[in-house]
Structure 1
Amino acid sequence: MASRSASNSTFSVIGSDVTIKGDITASADLHVDGSIEGDLHCASLVQGESSIISGGIEAQTARLAGKVVGSIRAKELVVLKSARIEGDVHYDALTIEQGAHVDGRFAHSSPKAAAPAAPRPQQQQAAPTGDKPASPDEPKLTLAS
């Protein structure tokens, strides 16, 4: 494993031949090719295609290519076409490649979502077609090709 540091240049790797049973907390960036049975908390996560994570994921950024069974909470989330997710997804910015499979609910994790929405009456006055100007507070969703 790489040494712990406040720098973003260090990372830890869990190889494809490794299975971990238990929760993981990493201050460094984490690359997972193996299997994890437990919750995972890290700054940045990159998951390989053959990886299986059974538990919740909490990260600033996550790039998922394998199987996840559990909830995901990330500020920036990229779901690649090889990913298979079974669980709810909470995000600030989301990119999903065509072909990815997600069985769960998506929810934008904006702090304003928890508070009563003050601009709700303005949204009701919007055109029935749903066309309204984009706001910087709106969730960001992109589809990758």
Structure 2
Amino acid sequence: MSFFGDGKGRAQRSGACVDTLIGHPVMLSGELRFSGGLYVEGRLVGKAVAEDGAAATITVAPRGVVEGELRAPVVIINGRVKGVVHAGERLELGPEARVEGDLHYTVVEMAAGAEVSGKLVHLAPAAPGGTSPTGGGRRAASPSPRSTGEREATPA
């Protein structure tokens, strides 16, 4: 049995549920804000963005097509995506995934057969307490303007 099977069955097996369905042959244009499970079997032109702090999963089915941005904690792709993908926790690419665009992820799983034309950008996991390492939080000390070869003389 393949790890990447029917998306609906996979969502049920993993404990995720489908709260919103863009069925085949539906075409949705615009921005979609959601929480829970979003399953795309049709076509989305625009973007799908999970509500801040919501447990959310976007699944693009083998017949699904997205032209735009996807942003959620968990993104599962087994269809076609042309645009930027932001998966805050986990990104899964099934064997039929065809992606043109940059993929931002914390953890990625890619099946044999998946195709990506773009950059894979690893994100550091969120710091404990919900502070993102890329926003807010402590900054690293800036380097000294002196080059590493220069040293300041100290009296003996």
TM-score in same-fold range (> 0.5): yes
Mapping 1:3-42, distance limit 5 Å:
9=17, 11-42=19-50
Q: Please report how far the alpha carbon of residue 51 of structure 1 lies from its aligned counterpart in structure 2 after TM superposition.
A: 0.7
Q: Return closer, same or farther for 1:113/1:33 CA change in 2, 3 Å cut-off.
A: same
Q: Please report how far the alpha carbon of residue 9 of structure 1 lies from its aligned counterpart in structure 2 after TM superposition.
A: 4.9
Distance 1:15 1:88 in 2: 25
Identity across aligned pairs (percent)?
27
64, 69, 77: which one aligns with 1:64:
77
Q: Is the 8 A contact 2:98 2:114 kept in 1?
A: yes
Distance 2:33 2:134 in 1: 27
103, 113, 117: which one aligns with 1:99:
113
| Structure 1 unaligned spans of 5+ | 1-7, 118-145
Aligned to 1:85: 99
Runs of 4+ in 1 over 4 A off after TM superposition: 111-117
Q: Please report how far the alpha carbon of residue 95 of structure 1 lies from its aligned counterpart in structure 2 after TM superposition.
A: 0.2
Q: Which entry has the higher C-alpha Rg, 1 or 2?
A: 2
Q: Please report how far the alpha carbon of residue 116 of structure 1 lies from its aligned counterpart in structure 2 after TM superposition.
A: 5.2
Q: How many residues align?
A: 111
Aligned to 1:124: none
Superposition RMSD in Å: 2.1
TM value normalised by structure 1: 0.70
| Structure 2 unaligned spans of 5+ | 1-15, 51-55, 125-131, 142-156
Q: Please report how far the alpha carbon of residue 28 of structure 1 lies from its aligned counterpart in structure 2 after TM superposition.
A: 2.4
TM value normalised by structure 2: 0.65
1:49-78 CA distance string (max 9 Å, x none): 011100011011111001000010002010
